[in-house]
Amino acid sequence: MIQEYSGDEPEPLRSEWTLDLLNSRSELAAWVDGFGSPLHVVFPDQANRNYLQWRNELRTVYGDCEIQFALKACKSAALLRAFALAGAGADVSSAHEMTSAFANLVPVQRISMTGPAKSDHEVSLCIRNGIAIHVDCIEELKRILELAGTAGSIRSLFLRARPRSEPGSRFGMTEGQLMACLPLLEEAKVGRIGVSFHINDYKVETRAEQLRASIAFLRRLCAQGLPPGGIDIGGGYPIRYLERFDPAAYSRGVHWASMPKPGSYPYAPELAGSRHAAAVIQIALAEPADRGFLERYRLPIILQPGRSLLDQCGISAFNVIEVKELGDSRFAVVLDGMSFSLSETWFGADFVPPPAILPRQKRAAARHNALYFLLGRSCLESDV
């Protein structure tokens, strides 16, 4: 806990099904006893509702939006299948994730291989199964085209652009490098050629500006007689965890390593999830000519949300192994699990919304004005 928030902790938003489960303490405790700690409980019906809400929101700003769930955000087969049955695709980054998508009913037309470092085996799997391949650099493109000579024609390629807002990124290609790819593609057997990007900040205008730049690139691609594909604007949409959050107060608070990272995540953003994504598209397509270009060529805008599509889809339950006194009114609550088991512990930050504490039996009251830190059971000092 953070001293600054004493008496006024920023409570996490919880769905009705979560509250019902937390109120069934004996049942949840029995599940942890039977299945072990940490126990991750997921709710596929919520996943279905989330997808439909995203789809309906996006349709208000552009008629041809495709939503692909980013498997790296959660490995739950139950949630993946719920998304697939509702109509979602899958964003995969490995052969294992591709296999999971197949096994959980995602059609190949809705799968994208976006990993920036793909093996020859993974590329060949994509080519043989007609899965869209995202190309990180011109060297990778040459390797993919060479493999296509034996594995078959490529249904769809997306050239990954390096965002203008992140010129020092190691991912994606500059505008000049993107243009250098086009001569290689003129002689290749590629059904459609699109462009993709991933933005690391949470500003609507940054993403909208890159989407406009992507439309301009596809115009140039068309001018050279190449078949245009869609625009993949990636994931990374903020999720609303709290009703309110004061990053300044958090930075002044007490931290495990005294090294808070202020502003690392907008825990209570004004625009979150599908509303954030819809705002990006609406701003980017404010110019009628850009919207007309996309509609004339029937080009989809593809989105790949991960955590933001999982909002309220699950909880994690941890047994407390022991409470360890560290001195100076500091206590370590040692959990039977690790901080990596949580869905959101942001880089360099040790903030997490207050947990729901479900006592199995009568326990001693917490000491007044003491600090309690949740610690994982690994040997890493940073597992907090």
Separation of first and last alpha carbons in the chain = 11
**Closest to 146 in 3D by CA, of 123, 172, 125, 122:** 123
Domain boundaries along the sequence of the chain: 3-41+314-375, 44-237+272-310
**Rounded to whole angstroms, how far apart are CA atoms 51 and 53?**
5
Q: Domain 44-237+272-310: give its CATH superfamily.
A: Alanine racemase (3.20.20.10)
**Closest to 377 in 3D by CA, of 1, 37, 41:** 37
Are 347 and 355 a contacting pair, CB within 8 Å? Answer: no
| Alpha-carbon distances of 12 from 141, 163, 267, 325, rounded to whole Å | 44, 33, 10, 27
Burial of 358 (0-12, 13-18, 19+ CB in 10 A): middle
DSSP annotation string for 316-354: EE--EEEEEEEETTEEEEEESS-GGGSS---TT----PP
| Alpha-carbon distances of 295 from 55, 209, 229, 288, rounded to whole Å | 18, 19, 12, 10
Tokens representing 2 are 């953070």
Contacts of 203 (CB under 8 A, 6+ apart): none
**Rounded to whole angstroms, how far apart are CA atoms 141 and 234?**
20
Looking at residue 83, its amino acid is F
Radius of gyration of the chain, Cα coordinates, nearest whole angstrom: 23
Are 93 and 68 a contacting pair, CB within 8 Å? Answer: no
Contacts of 22 (CB under 8 A, 6+ apart): 14, 28, 315, 356, 358
pLDDT of residue 181: 97
| Alpha-carbon distances of 339 from 261, 285, 375, 378, rounded to whole Å | 17, 40, 7, 9
Model pTM?
0.92
Are 243 and 11 a contacting pair, CB within 8 Å? Answer: yes
Tokens representing 185 are 């593609």
**Rounded to whole angstroms, how far apart are CA atoms 23 and 267?**
25
- Look-up: residue for tokens 């303490």? 25
**Closest to 40 in 3D by CA, of 29, 32, 51, 48:** 32
φ and ψ at 261, to 5 degrees? -115, 90
Tokens representing 240 are 């609303």
Q: How many helices (H) and strands (E) does the chain have?
A: 12, 13
pLDDT tens by residue, 319-329:
999 999 999 99
- Look-up: residue for tokens 């370590």? 332
The residue ranges of the chain whose pLDDT is under 70 are 1-9, 258-264, 342-351, 362-366
pLDDT of residue 2: 34
Q: Would strands 314-317 and 39-42 be described as parallel, antiparallel, or unpaired?
A: antiparallel
SS3 311: coil
CB atoms within 10 A of CB 35: 12
- In angstroms, how far is CA 10 from the centroid of its own chain? 23
